[in-house]
Amino acid sequence: MEDKREIKAKKSQKKQVHLFYCVECEELARKVAAQSDLITLQSINWRNFADGWPNLYINSAHDIRGQHVAFLASFSSPGVIFEQISVIYALPRLFVASFTLVLPFFPTGSFERMEEEGDVATAFTMARILSNIPTSRGGPTSLVIYDIHALQERFYFSDHVLPLFETGIPLLKQRLHQLPDANNIVIAFPDDGAWKRFHKMLDHFPTVREGDKRIVRIKEGNPAGCHVVIVDDLVQSGGTLIECQKVLAAHGAAKVSAYVTHGVFPKGSWERFTLKNGENMENAFANFWITDSCPLTVKAIANKAPFEVLSLAGSIADALQI
């Protein structure tokens, strides 16, 4: 057994983290802080001058000197990025011991296809902006991102930041094991990209892969009579998931559910997945799991079936101790 000195030494190695957050992330920030006594919430006054430009004030600026500091960001639209970048650039310069930026959803580049001269890689631009965050007294900024859309984007960051690429898949696995039909689960991947990204994390489940032409190809197991869960990193309009559901149902799936880490759902496209009066249950999703990486979506789908939010709070709290 460990003696008291060893236990005390381990506790002393833990960091007391001061967590700032943007307006959209307040609920998630409170959940993160609830995970550990080592995380203290701090606040920022998010105001605007009469001309619309940000008028920002970091509270407790003197108190965080020599402390470990983190910022929880949400780049949900171009309009909110500038004010957050202003704070992100300011915090490391307040003589803090270390600085961590938690950006659960890296939004740029999800639609980008660099196919001809003249296409602009905005994901690379965003990576360059984040790569130039000032160095704190403790060294480069740690950058926490969940399930970045294009795997090559992880190489866009320079050596001035330390990217930590996390995933929401453990949350899904935990939830699936809680289901009454946990022994009847089959995982479906809508394309080769999703399969390459996630199949090793879910290799103890039978799987179904769907090709570019939406033809189901059985890799392991059989969807007939099973509860099939489609897994991808993000959803936009949801058209791909709906087509996948139709194909799987046609091949005899008893139920079809979906999981994405990032429920982007622009223009309220999540409404396509809610069951309307008189709608055929065969065309419905039994469950639709998302994380709280996109706070605006979480508010929009609250208490609306078939949606369920799997919170990243515990995972973020753990990442802040790395």
Q: How many domains does the chain have?
A: 2
Q: Which pLDDT does position 275 carry in this prediction?
A: 75
Q: Using one digit for the tens of pLDDT, what is the confidence trace for 9-32?
A: 555 579 999 999 999 999 999 999
User: Are 95 and 179 part of one and the same domain?
Assistant: no
Per-residue confidence (pLDDT) for residue 153, from 0 to 100 = 80
The count of other CB atoms within 10 Å of the CB of residue 188 is 30
Q: 304 — phi, psi (to 5°)?
A: -115, 115
Kindly state the tokens that stand for 223. 């969807």
**Measured distance CA(15)–CA(159) in Å, rounded:** 24
| 174 and 303 belong to one structural domain | yes
Q: Look at residue 106 and tell me if it is in a domain.
A: yes
Please indicate, yes or no, whether residues 181 and 261 belong to a single structural domain of this protein: yes
- Matching residue, tokens 């369920």: 308
Residue 257: give the domain boundaries.
Answer: 169-310
Tokens 């996948």 belong to which residue? 244
The residue out of 116, 149, 166 marking a domain boundary is: 166
Positions in the chain short of pLDDT 50: 213-216, 218-219, 277
Residues linked to residue 209 through DSSP beta bridges, in sequence order: 189, 217
Q: Three-state SS for 81?
A: helix
Q: Is residue 6 situated within a structural domain?
A: no
> Which of 126, 147, 166 is the C-terminal boundary of a domain?
166
Is 227 a domain residue? yes
What is residue 84's predicted lDDT score, i.e. its pLDDT? Answer: 98
Amino acid 269 reads S
Distances (CA, A) of 200 to 172, 203, 262: 14, 5, 20
Q: Model-level pTM?
A: 0.91
Q: Is residue 8 part of a domain?
A: no
Are residues 176 and 287 located together in one domain of the fold?
yes
**The predicted structure's pLDDT at residue 271:** 96
In whole angstroms, give the CA distance from residue 104 to residue 319: 11
* Domain identity same for 157 and 290: no
Asked if residue 9 belongs to a domain, the reply is no
How would you class 53 by CB atoms within 10 Å of its CB: exposed for 0-12, middle for 13-18, buried for 19 or more?
Answer: exposed
Asked whether residue 298 falls in the same domain as residue 213, the answer is yes
Q: What is the CATH classification number for the domain harbouring 250?
A: 3.40.50.2020
User: Are the beta carbons of 123 and 109 closer than 8 angstroms?
Assistant: yes
Domain annotation covers residue 7: no
Question: 105 and 214: one domain?
Answer: no
Whether residue 129 is found in the same domain as residue 202: no
Tell me the pLDDT tens digit for each residue of 157-182. Answer: 999 999 999 999 999 999 999 999 99
Whether residue 221 is found in the same domain as residue 180: yes
Point out the domain boundary residue: 137, 166, 195: 166
Give me the pLDDT at residue 299, please.
97
142 and 203 in a single domain? The answer is: no
Neighbouring CB atoms inside 10 A of 310's CB total 18
Express each pLDDT in 45-82 by its tens digit: 999 999 999 999 999 999 999 999 999 999 999 999 99
Alpha helices (runs of H) in the chain, residue ranges in sequence order: 4-13, 26-34, 78-90, 122-131, 169-177, 192-198, 239-250, 295-300, 313-319
